[in-house]
Chain A
Amino acid sequence: MSVLDVRNLRKSFGTEVVLADLSLEVPEHTATVLIGASGSGKSTLLRCINLLDTIDDGSIYLDGQEISDPAIDVDQVRRKLGMVFQSFNLFPHMSVIDNITLSPRKVHGVSPEQARSEAMDLLTRFGLADKANQFPDRLSGGQQQRVAIIRSIAVKPRLLLLDEVTSALDPVLVNEVLSIVRDLKSDGMTMVLATHEMGFATQVADEVCFLEAGRIVERGPAAQVIQNPQLPATQEFLRRVHEAGRL
Chain B
Amino acid sequence: MSTHDSPIHDNVGRALSSVDPLVWSPSAREVQRIALRKKLARRRIVVAAISTLIVLGSLAAVLVTSPGWKVVNKTFFDWSYGLTVLHLVIKGILTNIGLTLIASVAIGIIAMCLALARTSKSAAMTPFRFLATAYVDIFRGVPLLLVILLVGFGIPALRIKIIPNSVLVLGTIAVVLTYSAYVAEVIRSGILSVHPSQRAAARSLGLNQSQTLRHVVLPQAIKRVVPPLLNDLVALLKDTGLVSILGVIDAVRAAQIEASRTFNYTPYVIAAILFLFITIPLTRYTDRVLLRSISRQNAEGTA
Query: Chain A residues in contact with chain B, CB under 8 A?
Result: 50, 52, 74-75, 78-79, 81-83, 85, 87, 89-93, 102-103, 106-108, 136-139, 141, 144, 151-152, 155
Contact = CB atoms under 8 A, between A and B. Distances in A.
Given A85-B197, A85-B200, A93-B223, A78 B303 contact: no
Contacts of A75: 203, 206-208
B125 to A, nearest CB: 18
Contacts of B303: 136-139, 141, 144
A103 B207 contact: yes
B205 A78 contact: yes
Interface in B54-81: none
Contacts of A103: 205-207
A188 B208 CA distance: 28
A92 B300 contact: yes
Interface of B: 197-198, 200-208, 211, 215-216, 219-220, 223, 299-300, 303
B219 A137 contact: no
B300 A81 contact: no
Contacts of B201: 83, 85, 89-91
A91 B216 contact: yes
A155 B220 contact: no
Contacts of B204: 50, 52, 78, 81-83, 152
Contact of A137 (B198, B220, B299): B299
B219 A107 contact: no
Nearest to A102: B215
22 contacts: A52-B204, A75-B203, A78-B204, A81-B204, A85-B197, A85-B200, A91-B201, A91-B215, A91-B216, A92-B300, A93-B220, A93-B223, A102-B207, A103-B206, A103-B207, A106-B207, A108-B206, A136-B303, A141-B303, A144-B303, A151-B205, A152-B204
A12 B16 CA distance: 67
B211 A107 contact: yes
**10 smallest beta-carbon distances between A and B, as pairs:** A89-B201, A83-B204, A103-B205, A79-B206, A107-B206, A137-B303, A78-B206, A75-B208, A93-B219, A89-B197
Most chain B Cβ neighbours within 10 Å, of A85, A91, A139: A91
A1 B205 CA distance: 24
Contact of A89 (B200, B208, B211, B219): B200
B222 to A, nearest CB: 10
Contact of A106 (B197, B200, B215, B300): B215
A92 B220 contact: yes
Contacts of B197: 85, 87, 89
Contacts of B223: 93
Contacts of A87: 197
Nearest to B220: A93
A237 to B, nearest CB: 27
B200 A52 contact: yes
B207 A107 contact: yes
A103 B216 CA distance: 11
A98 to B, nearest CB: 9
Nearest to A47: B200
A91 B200 CA distance: 11
B221 to A, nearest CB: 10
Contacts of B205: 78, 83, 102-103, 107, 151-152, 155
A82 B203 CA distance: 10
Contacts of A50: 204
Nearest to B207: A107
Given A87-B197, A103-B207, A137-B299, 6 more contacts: A74-B203, A90-B201, A91-B216, A91-B220, A144-B303, A152-B205
A51 to B, nearest CB: 8
Contacts of B211: 106-107
Contacts of A151: 205
A74 B200 CA distance: 13
Contacts of A137: 299-300, 303
A85 B201 CA distance: 8
Contacts of B216: 91
